[in-house]
Structure 1
Amino acid sequence: MTTFVADGGAARATNAALVARLERLPVTRRLMLIRVIVGSATFFDAYTVLAIAFAMPKLVDEWHLSASQVGLILSAGYLGQMVGALVFGWLAERIGRLHTLLITIVLFVSMDIACLFAWSAASMIVFRFVQGVGTGGEVPVASAYINEFIGARKRGRFFLLYEVIFPVGLMFAGIAGYFLVPTYGWKAMFIVGVIPSVLAIPLRWLMPESPRWLASKGRVEEADAVVRKLEDDAVRQGLALPEPVVRPLDPKATARSDWRELFRGIYRKRTLMIWVLWACVYMINNGLVTWLPTLYKQVFKLPLETSLAYGWITSGVGVIASVVCALLIDKVGRKRWYTAAFLAATVPLLVLTALGATTATQVVVLAPIAYAILQTISFSLYLYSAELYPTRLRAIGTGFGSAWLRAGSSIGPLMVGWIVADLGTRYVFTAFAAVALVGGLVTMVFAIETKGRVLEELSP
């Protein structure tokens, strides 16, 4: 239930002035530093997510894993991420963005170390699940945090150039896998993930708390101090600082709420819509990117080095597509881009079905095309999710939405394993095409456009 503070009028006026000052801010060196620091953690989050996929071909031989065990190991991390997204999204609304981020980083780094000592499929499943709790909490909270610093006109480009670091981290996992696993074994993937991840932890102390979150908790003086520091940075750097344009805020902008508001009023349709988008795009993309290296080796009998190189191609084209999306999405718009991408991705998937996916060449050409198209959706949904909710719901709404990312991600590898075992490789791509079609239709009918609009206007 939503409740209002007694001095609601004064609180709304203060919040409106704060929002106006944030909206007029240019991109200063401090904001760039914040993006780099958060991005460093997100980079190794992404690396950690995919490291297991490139370790898996070696683990299959060393531990004599069945297809079902492979699916369970790959899915365990995503199930943990689903729990982490829910728990830490809620926690970030209570204790703040920065404290929550620090907890998530410590958790996923410590479990990366634990994975080095895994001795069986069961132990790896447990460690990957707990590690997933940390990685699942980091990205949605970081996304809410970054969004809350940037004005409407610059938000899409600024945020997505940060978010590009996630597919870069996935690509780096492929490069590391190609060069390290054949020579040094699967543990090398986790050793690489530990060292730089630990360095990201103390960097958290260099960042300010979100002023929007501070103001929403009534900590107005602290919020004002953060904004003044950003304004002073702009002045010192000689950047233009126009007069703030104060817009009246809805009374709910200074309200307190809980997770149930996600399913009331205008937020009900948004919540259900974004859940479907998260689940659809990640069911396909994580099903592809985590299983392809193993498929190349086990089904097409390619050498380990070739299998890992082909897997890297998929991640690499995803990075290129992500950069293109980051540069253009503020012009095209979220709804139009997502609708076109979902529907376009069905084409290479259906072509693979028609061809039968009988050769590795067919898969390595067409599967990365579908992945790259859908990667423009998957990496930018954190931006879109954060835009759909007000400050009081942003972290938990993004966390709940990205929990369906984890659900889709856990279902994808399991579905691939079941379909390959029972029906054959070609029908994996049939199933993925059907999922992409569902995502496109839901976007077309239910999504709203958010480009160029102030967060408080989008979500009162």
Structure 2
Amino acid sequence: MNAQTDQSTITQDVDSTGFDATNFKMIVIGVVAALAGLMSGLDIGVVAGALDFFAKRYHASMLAQEWVVSAMMAGAAVGALGAGWLSHSLGRKRSLILGAAVFVVGSVGCALCWSVPSMMFFRVIMGLAVGLSAFTAPLYLSEIASEETRGAMVSTYQLMVTVGIFIAFLSNTYFSYSGDWRWMFGVAAIPAALFLVGVTFLPYSPRWLIIQGRHKEAREVLLSLRDDPLVAAQEIRAIREQLEVKQHGMQLLRENPNFRRSLALGVMLQAMQQLAGINIIMYYAPHILEKAGFDATSQMWCTAIIGLVNMLATFIAVGLVDKWGRKPILYIGFTVMALGMAALATLLAHGMNSQASQLLAVFLLLIFCTGFAMSAGPLMWVLCSEIQPMQGRDLGIALSTLTNWVTNMIVGASFLTLMTTIGTAGTFWLFAAFNAVFVVLTYLFVPETKGMSLDVMEKRLLSGTKLRELGR
């Protein structure tokens, strides 16, 4: 029996059992790479439960607490800024390995910290890993996935962020009974170590291999990831054509107004994601629930429920992003968030003196989280990985990711101050207004990229087509 017959037999065996080895491999690769999101979620979620215990132990002021929260975002901004160079020089896979190692160091450091400054320092270290991973993981997933599954694959990263947040909230609740904030931080080192091991088995990005001139390896990787060898060959040709023009992001920024448009759109999308207000809940849920009249134990359990709903709602985006498209889901999400924030602001303004009003406040928080998790949470990463032209892709994604973390840091460092100055209700009215504006911005500027070739969208962008018309 010759090799061709062997291969045919293997294919028939796979078909007869109904097991699709290629799809299974893609799922495994997607999940392992998206574990970077799990680690980011753990680091985002842990501070909500640990902050009060840590603050009491070291007598941290309100300002110090805000900076303990936002120190991670400062590190993430720096990590995102250097991620473009690292992912280009080291490769997507090695950058993920580096990020995993830094996750371990940061988690252990936070668990062993001895003062407010030392906690800030190790939160910055954790942030470096988060920023590097937030850039590299969606980029890697978008380059591994086919056009038909790209939206779902990149959305998997944000899904894993929500899984990480939920696990952190559950862990926080468990350790809250003993007040052991060190273990709240320390448990993140365990999945970080597993992620470090798992990512070493991932294939290299075929696009990066071609950039490095390793064409044979790129072909082997794509053949292992696609059912049809012809599809793999077409992808290789398309990648080679795109790469004939080298990365000249800074030159494009200076000389090409069309690239500046896509860059501005990426920056706007990431700012919209953070100004929607999700992280005031992720970082300060116990504080918000305290304002609603919940006791300490109820605060932790309600926070865990919020994390669960945030995770489950992300499945909506993963399941619908390549069916409904990006824009319809964003319209729904921002509308739900605007209404949820406005209703909660109204409730807070009138006071919550009954159990019914307290339960309604939790319900509105859950509605808001559902709106975010099904839309802006995952889809901004999807869109930002799609809209940048090849010549300036690394710079475009790096700057949009940097914007995400800088805006995140501003929100995290100002929320407690905002509640003190304009009141809890006024703060939520502000975020409700932001979300209402984002519905309009989505209509005016965001393209529908469902099922569109990155190459086609790039040609339309550089020819001067309006941003909202780049896709369908």
TM-score by length of 2: 0.84
Deviation at 1:97, TM superposition (A): 0.5
Partner residue, 2:173: 178
Partner Cα distance (2:258, 2:242) in 1: 13
Deviation at 1:229, TM superposition (A): 3.3
Partner Cα distance (2:135, 2:50) in 1: 26
Deviation at 1:51, TM superposition (A): 0.9
Partner residue, 1:307: 299
Task: Give the counterpart of 1:94 among 89, 92, 99.
Answer: 89
The residue type paired with residue 133 of structure 2 is E
Partner residue, 2:469: none
Partner residue, 1:414: 413
SS class of match (1:448): coil
Task: Give the counterpart of 2:160 among 159, 165, 168.
Answer: 165
SS class of match (2:86): helix
Partner Cα distance (2:94, 2:253) in 1: 24
SS class of match (1:380): helix
Partner Cα distance (2:295, 2:359) in 1: 14
Partner residue, 1:363: 361
Residue 115 of structure 1 pairs with residue 89 of structure 2: no
The residue type paired with residue 451 of structure 1 is K
Counterpart contact for 1:270–1:447, Cα < 8 Å: no
Matched pairs, number: 428
Partner Cα distance (1:243, 1:230) in 2: 10
Partner residue, 2:372: 374
Partner residue, 1:228: 223
Partner residue, 1:272: 264
Task: Give the counterpart of 2:193 among 189, 198, 203.
Answer: 198
Partner residue, 2:466: none
Deviation at 1:117, TM superposition (A): 1.9
Counterpart contact for 1:278–1:378, Cα < 8 Å: no
Task: Give the counterpart of 2:247 among 257, 261, 265.
Answer: 257
Partner residue, 1:22: none
Counterpart contact for 2:317–2:378, Cα < 8 Å: no
Deviations 1:47-79 (A, max 9, x none): 122211111121232223222221111111111
Deviation at 1:184, TM superposition (A): 5.0
Deviation at 1:397, TM superposition (A): 2.5
Partner residue, 2:57: 62
Deviation at 1:353, TM superposition (A): 2.2
Cα pair distance change 1:101/1:392, threshold 3 Å: farther
Partner residue, 1:4: none
Partner residue, 1:428: 427
SS class of match (2:321): helix
Partner Cα distance (2:130, 2:421) in 1: 32
Partner Cα distance (2:455, 2:51) in 1: 45
Which deviates more, 299-308 or 92-101?
299-308
Counterpart contact for 1:281–1:378, Cα < 8 Å: yes
The residue type paired with residue 344 of structure 1 is V
1:336-347 map, 5 Å? 336-347=328-339
Partner Cα distance (2:241, 2:27) in 1: 32
Cα pair distance change 1:133/1:156, threshold 3 Å: same
Partner residue, 1:292: 285
Which deviates more, 372-381 or 47-56?
372-381
Counterpart contact for 2:259–2:392, Cα < 8 Å: no
Partner Cα distance (1:351, 1:145) in 2: 39
Partner Cα distance (2:416, 2:231) in 1: 58
The residue type paired with residue 291 of structure 1 is Y
Deviations 1:76-128 (A, max 9, x none): 11111111111112321222101111111111210111111222222211211
Partner residue, 1:7: none
Deviation at 1:302, TM superposition (A): 3.3
Partner Cα distance (1:89, 1:426) in 2: 40
The residue type paired with residue 39 of structure 1 is A
Deviations 1:347-379 (A, max 9, x none): 121122223353344432212312221222122
The residue type paired with residue 284 of structure 2 is W
**Runs of 5+ unmatched residues, structure 2:** 1-19, 353-357, 460-472
The residue type paired with residue 411 of structure 1 is I
SS class of match (1:153): coil
CA RMSD of aligned residues (A): 2.5
Counterpart contact for 1:46–1:167, Cα < 8 Å: yes
Counterpart contact for 1:58–1:186, Cα < 8 Å: yes
Counterpart contact for 1:144–1:394, Cα < 8 Å: no
Give the structure, 1 or 2, with the largest relative contact order (CA under 8 Å, sep 6 or more): 1
Partner residue, 1:126: 121
Counterpart contact for 1:389–1:459, Cα < 8 Å: yes
Partner Cα distance (1:405, 1:454) in 2: 25
Partner residue, 1:150: 145
Deviation at 1:391, TM superposition (A): 4.8
TM-score by length of 1: 0.86
Deviation at 1:292, TM superposition (A): 1.5
Deviations 1:279-323 (A, max 9, x none): 2222311122211113334x4563322111121222222122211
The residue type paired with residue 152 of structure 2 is R
Partner Cα distance (1:91, 1:356) in 2: 46
The residue type paired with residue 366 of structure 1 is L
Partner Cα distance (1:66, 1:419) in 2: 15
Partner residue, 1:53: 48
Partner Cα distance (1:228, 1:331) in 2: 26
Partner residue, 1:323: 315
**Runs of 5+ unmatched residues, structure 1:** 1-24, 235-239
SS class of match (1:221): helix
Instruction: Report % sequence identity.
Output: 23
Residue 29 of structure 1 pairs with residue 28 of structure 2: no
Partner residue, 1:388: 387
Partner residue, 1:397: 396
Partner Cα distance (2:258, 2:135) in 1: 21
SS class of match (2:76): helix
Counterpart contact for 1:275–1:401, Cα < 8 Å: yes
Partner Cα distance (1:366, 1:300) in 2: 12
Counterpart contact for 2:273–2:380, Cα < 8 Å: no
Counterpart contact for 2:281–2:288, Cα < 8 Å: no
The residue type paired with residue 189 of structure 1 is M
Deviation at 1:215, TM superposition (A): 1.7
SS class of match (2:112): coil
Partner Cα distance (1:229, 1:361) in 2: 51
